[in-house]
Chains A and B, each alone.
Chain A
């Protein structure tokens, strides 16, 4: 038994860390936030050249043809660096949906485009306030045309194409839409973290092509979300790791009452609990990565467990990060808020934590029967 990543996978992780330390410093992240720039184009170009966008894409489409164990290593580093790029939308969602469901022509066009860094993709599911359900969808696809409004769409303003969930006949289908086409109107939305921006996209008889079978859209979307959740959980875990390290360094070097504040038991015990939470999340993530790589029957339960525990670990960590920094933690100047923003936005991406709890209990009830 070997419940760990291989030396090669860890080497890839180290390479990613070194690259991001230089090219995605918190100064870079802050620049995107303050300029409301959407994403860092140089960084995007860099990660494309390094082949990260195609890590899990087959070689015939220009990818590296590795698996998910390699991809989650990179996702973790993206999370640590708070990398301001549409990596998750493009790689976890768009590439994943097309890899699983695309026909040969779609794979050739979109996977090759993604792997080469020429296409940014996203998935547009939700339309309104509240939980995403089949009933909450009003967008409609018929005769090759899509009409409706999606909001919020992660990275919608940067994306070249979107995979959209829409009603078709009695059921729902996923369709691919070129966002530069006629009948597509995209507007940037104000949101908590401008380094992972959100958009509203209106479709008015926009040309669209179906991805996967007619009527299978909801099922496919859920399956893609499960798979994306595993990769996102690693990204969140990476964020939690970095926030922990920054906080640790701060409280060990900040003195009050003649001692480092990190010597007070009230902080030590909370750090111990945060550490324990994170190790539980990490262990859930490891198993989910294994289930994803092996397409195991337990993927549903594993993905939900990983996403829930990683979301909670990151969110709890950043709340404590600000508290343990004290007053400076609440300033714009200090970096705590970058993590606070990112943790919340990632916890809401792919569905909120309560929505994942519901998915998990549904599966657990099925398993218990």
Chain B
């Protein structure tokens, strides 16, 4: 058991730091990094693109990818080391997580040679940003219940329908889309997967205003959008298998650290030292002390669950189910910690923004964590994954197996 880098890892880390020191400045570690529910504002898109271009030029982009597509064929651990180091610097938020983490690997697994050459090198360089068009108003956890229609017309497909929860649709050049190409086929058999040019006519993007006031996501409406058959990824009717590749990559990237944002244990202790409870500093109250201790225990557990995943990578193994546990615990605990920070602030805990004389990280966390509990696999789906895939318990009884999709009830019935 050894927490330190191996000599090779240490040498690689030093190389990474040299590059970063020369091109970026360290971030104030007390400043929150933001999370997936935040919208990209101002010129951050341009800055993010410039940083990606610089990384590509210097040979630090898409480290794990094959060299023929612009990657470096680095090991998983090297890629993790780069990520760890990069997160210490004051850099624009990554707008490439979905493309590089999920869609690129999907094209590598299922795309034609032509598609790989057309899409992957540009994806690395970052001029073209990608988004994911999977969820629909009636198909979230039950993704295979999606209804967006794809109808073959000559060499094109005509797409109609609505997608939702699309991060970054407004600044993306390309999207990855799953649509229903055969409504008479069984539910999972009638789907086909496409790459779609987001600048095509017939695509309308509307931001979703979240309950916390932010707009990190969009609805995307498709009206008679034409996609050439050459942009179909995988076979007709094989879209579910292709989508699974994407989703498997999502779970492994979402769980990887830095989740939840919000205040830490130190912040809670400092707050409890400042505010009163029963005429004494709240930090002297037994209930407050026990609660903070419990948060700290879970936080450290999460941290070392992550470290065990990294350790598996470092040893050349595939990390286990750590990713699912990470998000499940981080989101629930984030919500509880936000609520407890507000509790310590007393009546003023409901004040938000600059009208709160204290810190508002707790209110922000409280208002964003319900979203994190749903994004990238709801708590319930994650528990299904843990119980079924990790523990080997039986799947749920299904009412939708072996029937044509058109005969299966979907969505909200009233």
Contact = CB atoms under 8 A, between A and B. Distances in A.
Interface of A: 1-6, 69, 248, 252, 259-260, 262-263, 265, 268-269, 271-273, 275-276, 279-281, 283-284, 286-287, 289-290, 293, 301-302, 304-305, 308-309, 354, 357-358, 360-361, 364-365, 367-368
**In this complex, which of A284, A358, A361, A367 has the most chain B Cβ atoms within 10 angstroms of its Cβ?**
A361
Interface in B374-388: 380, 382-384, 386-388
Nearest to B286: A358
B278 interface: no
A4 B310 CA distance: 11
Interface string B376-414: 000010111011101101101100000000000000000
A283 B308 contact: yes
A305 B311 CA distance: 21
A360 B384 contact: no
Nearest to A268: B387
A308 B286 CA distance: 16
Chain A to chain B: the 7 pairs with minimum beta-carbon distance, closest first: A280-B301, A283-B304, A3-B311, A268-B387, A272-B386, A357-B293, A263-B394
A279 B322 contact: yes
18 contacts: A1-B3, A2-B314, A4-B315, A262-B394, A263-B396, A268-B383, A272-B382, A275-B386, A276-B386, A279-B322, A279-B325, A280-B301, A283-B301, A287-B307, A289-B1, A309-B297, A309-B301, A357-B289
B265 A364 contact: yes
A275 B388 CA distance: 12
B296 interface: yes
Contact of B311 (A2, A6, A248, A268): A2
Contacts of B296: 301, 305, 360-361, 364
Contacts of B382: 272
Given A280-B302, A293-B1, A275 B292 contact: no
Contact of A305 (B300, B308, B312, B387): B300
Tell me what chain B mostly uses at the interface: helix, strand, loop, or mixed.
Answer: helix
A5 B292 CA distance: 30
A275 B387 CA distance: 9
Nearest to B382: A272
Contacts of B314: 1-2
A104 B246 CA distance: 64
Given A1-B9, A6-B1, A309-B298, 19 more contacts: A3-B308, A4-B1, A259-B394, A268-B384, A268-B393, A272-B328, A279-B301, A280-B329, A283-B301, A283-B302, A284-B297, A287-B304, A290-B3, A301-B300, A308-B297, A358-B293, A361-B290, A367-B266, A368-B265
A46 B121 CA distance: 64
Contact of B393 (A252, A308, A309): A252
B41 interface: no
Contact of A283 (B294, B307, B388): B307
Contacts of B384: 265, 268-269, 272
Contact of B391 (A271, A284, A287, A367): A271
A281 B301 contact: yes
Given A272-B383, A360-B297, A1 B5 contact: yes
A2 B308 CA distance: 8
Nearest to A357: B293
A305 B1 contact: no
A127 to B, nearest CB: 23
Interface string B1-18: 111111001000000000
B103 interface: no
B265 A354 contact: no
Nearest to B394: A263
A284 B304 contact: yes
A269 B297 contact: no
Contacts of A290: 1, 3
A19 B71 CA distance: 51
A280 B305 contact: yes
B383 A260 contact: no
B289 A361 contact: yes
Contacts of B189: none
Contact of B325 (A276, A289, A301, A364): A276
B297 A305 contact: yes
B283 interface: yes
A1 B328 contact: no
A271 B269 CA distance: 33
A271 B384 CA distance: 10
Nearest to B288: A361
B270 interface: yes
Given A279-B322, A284-B297, A4 B290 contact: no
Contact of B387 (A3, A271, A357, A361): A271
Contacts of B283: 365
Contact of A4 (B4, B303, B311): B311
Contacts of A265: 384, 396
A361 B397 CA distance: 46
Given A280-B305, A287-B300, A365 B394 contact: no
Contacts of A308: 293-294, 297
Contacts of A271: 387, 391, 393
Nearest to B264: A368
Contacts of A364: 265, 269, 292-293, 296
Given A276-B325, A308-B294, A358-B293, A269 B383 contact: yes
A277 B4 CA distance: 26
B305 A279 contact: yes
**In this complex, which of A5, A280, A301, A360 has the most chain B Cβ atoms within 10 angstroms of its Cβ?**
A280
Nearest to A293: B1
A309 B4 CA distance: 25
A301 B293 CA distance: 10
A358 B289 contact: yes
Nearest to B265: A364
A364 to B, nearest CB: 6
Contacts of B322: 279
Interface string B245-282: 00000000000000000000110011000000000000
Contacts of A302: 300
Contacts of A304: 293, 297
